[in-house]
């Protein structure tokens, strides 16, 4: 898998999400400040509710913009043999003959990055799996909680 293509896939997803939430925040702001939203009596909370919604959406757009900046600042690098897993690593885990790919990123855990038909799930160092992976190298074991209980996975590759 090409880490650069995976990173661009993540940035593209985040930019689409940012555009959607920016439009929603602007719509909520317009509703909060619209003449028709003015309170008709002391119990009418329409404009205040719309203002709270607009503020929350604005905070979300700010967080997404921060995530985009963090991903743009991440420069994919090659990890040498025996080098520990860190941000920017593409990690392949193996258990019971199944392989899964994870991209250690600065933010946006849970997103799926695509490179053609290949898929890697974004993991951050603050997630339970990310905390286990940091510093590990090829051959080390990590335990992942699954529906039927914890399963040991072997680190098969670090790129």
Ramachandran region, residue 78 (left: φ > 0; alpha: ψ -120 to 50; beta: rest): beta
Ramachandran region, residue 89 (left: φ > 0; alpha: ψ -120 to 50; beta: rest): beta
Query: What digits encode the pLDDT tens for the residues 83-95?
Result: 899 999 999 999 9
Cβ within 8 Å of residue 121, ≥6 positions away: 100, 101, 102, 103, 110, 111, 112, 113
The yes-or-no verdict on residue 44 having pLDDT over 80 is no
d(CA 106, CA 126): 9
Q: For the chain, which residues make up each domain, given as ranges?
A: 3-73, 90-158
The yes-or-no verdict on residue 74 having pLDDT over 90 is yes
Query: What digits encode the pLDDT tens for the residues 2-17?
Result: 999 999 999 999 999 9
Assign domain 90-158 one CATH number from 3.40.50.300, 1.20.1250.20, 3.90.280.10, 3.10.50.30: 3.10.50.30
- pTM attached to this predicted model: 0.83
């Amino acid at each position: 898998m090409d880490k650069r293509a995976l990173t661009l896939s993540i940035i593209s997803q985040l930019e689409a999400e940012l555009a959607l939430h920016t439009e929603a925040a602007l719509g909520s702001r317009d509703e909060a400040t619209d003449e028709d939203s003015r309170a008709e009596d002391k119990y009418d909370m329409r404009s205040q509710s719309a203002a709270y919604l607009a503020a929350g959406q604005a905070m979300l757009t700010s967080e997404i913009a921060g995530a985009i900046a963090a991903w743009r600042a991440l420069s994919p690098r090659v990890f040498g043999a025996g080098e520990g897993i860190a941000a920017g690593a593409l990690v392949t885990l193996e258990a019971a003959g199944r392989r899964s790919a994870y991209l250690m990123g600065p933010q946006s855990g849970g997103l799926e990055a695509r490179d053609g038909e290949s898929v890697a799930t974004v993991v951050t160092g603050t997630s339970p799996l990310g905390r286990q992976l940091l510093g590990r190298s090829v051959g080390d074991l990590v335990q992942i909680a699954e529906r039927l209980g914890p399963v040991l996975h072997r680190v098969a590759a670090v790129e």
